[in-house]
């Protein structure tokens, strides 16, 4: 297990969401403070604010790709090479994750609707945030490291 994977696991095990757990270990590599990384990625957990859309671990990984390859003001053209590289890397990572897990959507991965209190309580009761989400976080970090 890589150092980044171990850090992501530590973040997750201490109560941070999946997007936070993936982004934070990489933040300082790209000049982003830990606190800012944790704040900016807070809303991405549980498939975007408990909407069960794209897995928060993946969106955290997408943010890291943006930090490394993303377009900045000095790039010039509207869709420059940095944009294309970023889109390519995001799609590549999403395909690898989907191949491994069968989906990139939280609702499919966890099998519950996290926007409903009773279903979220069942996820907690069954320990799915620790097990299912833990595996998704680990795999997102490992696949991200391959993709970068």
Q: What is the pLDDT of residue 72?
A: 80
What's the per-residue H, E or C state across 34-82? HHHHHHHCHHHHHHHCCCCCECHHHHHHHHHHHHHHCCCHHHCCCCCHH
Please tell me the pTM assigned to this model: 0.92
Question: Mean of the pLDDT values across residues 116-137?
Answer: 95
Q: What is the pLDDT of residue 17?
A: 96
Q: Which residue range forms the structural domain that includes residue 107?
A: 3-147
Q: What is the pLDDT of residue 96?
A: 98
Q: Which of 120, 118, 86 is nearest to 106 (CA)?
A: 120
Scanning the structure block, which residue is given the tokens 């890397």?
89
In angstroms, the CA 75 to CA 66 distance is 14
Q: What is the pLDDT of residue 94?
A: 99
Per-residue pLDDT tens for 130-147? Answer: 999 999 999 999 999 999
Quote the number of domains for the chain.
1
> Considering the chain, what is the average pLDDT of its residues?
94
Helices (H) and strands (E) in the chain, counts: 9, 0
């Amino acid at each position: 297990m890589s150092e980044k994977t171990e850090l992501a696991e530590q973040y997750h095990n201490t109560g941070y969401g999946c997007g936070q757990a993936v982004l934070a270990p990489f933040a300082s590599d790209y000049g982003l403070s830990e606190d800012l990384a944790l704040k900016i990625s807070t809303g991405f957990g549980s498939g975007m604010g408990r909407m069960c859309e794209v897995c928060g671990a993946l969106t955290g990984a997408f943010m890291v790709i943006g930090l490394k390859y993303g377009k900045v003001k000095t790039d010039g053209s509207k869709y420059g090479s940095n944009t294309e590289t970023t889109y390519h890397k995001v799609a590549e990572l999403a395909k690898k994750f989907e191949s491994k897990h069968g989906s990139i959507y939280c609702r499919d991965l966890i099998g519950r609707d996290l926007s409903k209190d009773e279903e979220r309580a069942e996820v907690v009761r069954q320990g799915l945030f620790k097990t299912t989400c833990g595996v998704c976080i680990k795999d997102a970090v490992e696949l991200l490291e391959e993709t970068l």
